[in-house]
Amino acid sequence: MEERGGVVVASERYGSAESWKYWAKDGAMERREVNEGQSKGNSVVGVFKSVFLPQGYPESVSDDYLQYQFWDTVQAFSSSLSGTLATQASLKGVGVGNQEATVAAATVTWLLRDGTGMLGRILFAWQKGSKLDSEAKKWRLFADGLNDIAMFMEILAPHFPAFFTLILCTAGVFKSVVGVAGGATRAALTVHQARRDNMADISAKDGSQETLVNLAGLLLSLILIPLVTDSPRLTLGLFFLFTILHLFANYKAVRSVVMETFNEARLSIVFQRYLRDKRIPSPAEANRREPVLLEFGKSVPIKLGVKLQEVVQSPDQLDLALKGNNMPFLVGIRNGCVCVCLGPEASVGDEIRAACQALWLSGRLNAPTPGHPNQRGHWETVHESHKLMDAIFSEFLKGAEAAGWDVKRTLLDWDEWRVEWKTKSS
């Protein structure tokens, strides 16, 4: 192709950001950028992108990356300013600026705060660590709300000197929970955003973005601190302003995330819609409807991957659980809970089917019905669920994959118990 006094022999591009052509003329080859006039104006933007955005952006990340990072930046900035106000109050409470305060007393208070925080971190990770992947949005929002409560306690603590250490230690425990939940859910969201196995790059650039935001917050804090030092009312007023902005930005951030893998909430939305009108919502539609606030207590909870004794308590009940069931899992109802035992050979598709069946049973038990069915009635409901899933699940799973859902892995909250069972005949 003859152009501009030469022949274009090759072209190349760097993601969607840059495009170049190679020109051949008189035995030489020259490399020129397409739209050279725009390149100078975009050079600053290009440097900014290379420093703060993952390599290959936007193709290397999920479609919701930019919107999430924008709101995450807003919440980090407001949290940085709130943290400055809380730190100032804590330092004032331990005696900074008070000639009667001793270094030893301040040190003991700070050590108690850090020590209780460390214990809180260990206990929370032990109790809730396995839940953070499956409910990343909920725990992310919970962590940031708890962080605001902790900072509010630190601001109030100096006004209650008799309980100062207790309040500060409690706030330290809350912040340790925030550290675990925030860090773990950030990692889960990074896995979602990474589309080229580039989790480390995304995490590193996220750290760079947060550092830049904290630097901006630090500069603004240098202006705020002299204004609020002797004004508790102004401190509280600014804190509430930043807290409202922080919570709003966090809500918008988690709402912007569109995850294509099933957790219990998203699977419930999709499966219930399919049962109603045979239509499967897209990941974007289901994520918009997914609740992002933690639910403390459900009327009919679901337990996945439990021990065998939580499903059956006798050989006769085991036979009832296997009746009409040729799947590598057992489903049962006990003490108002829907429980599922999983066999070691179960596939991801089997896990999704078992969860769908448990969701259907939970809905049936939660529906208002006259009287309370006995254990035999429960097994009849379980058998009915097996027949339903035999009829519809294969079509449901194909439709979910066609709608854009990732059915090769899940974020369902399975425990680690795996059970092998035998029937009377075997």
| Residue-wise pLDDT tens digits, 23-43 | 888 778 888 777 655 554 467
Angle value at C-alpha 406, between 400 and 412, nearest 5 degrees: 95
At residue 233, the pLDDT reads: 87
At residue 24, the pLDDT reads: 85
At residue 366, the pLDDT reads: 82
At residue 411, the pLDDT reads: 94
What pTM did the predictor assign? 0.85
The strand pairing partners of 11, in sequence order, are 21
Q: In the numeric block, which tokens belong to residue 139?
A: 């725990």
At residue 224, the pLDDT reads: 87
At residue 423, the pLDDT reads: 65
Tell me the chain's radius of gyration from C-alpha atoms: 28
CA 325 vs. chain centroid, Å, equals: 35
Task: Show me where the domains of the chain are located.
Answer: 2-43, 65-257, 262-410
What is the C-alpha to C-alpha distance for residues 293 and 384, in angstroms, rounded to an integer?
A: 33
What is the C-alpha to C-alpha distance for residues 253 and 249, in angstroms, rounded to an integer?
A: 6
Q: In the numeric block, which tokens belong to residue 120?
A: 């809180």
Q: Are 270 and 355 in contact (CB under 8 A)?
A: no
At residue 103, the pLDDT reads: 67
At residue 36, the pLDDT reads: 56
Residues of the chain scoring pLDDT < 50:
1, 40-41, 97, 370-371, 426
- Please compute, for residue 22, the number of CA atoms within 13 A of its CA located in the half-sphere on the CB side: 9
Written out in words, the top-level CATH class of the domain with range 65-257 is mainly alpha
Return the DSSP state at 157: G
What is the C-alpha to C-alpha distance for residues 182 and 158, in angstroms, rounded to an integer?
A: 27
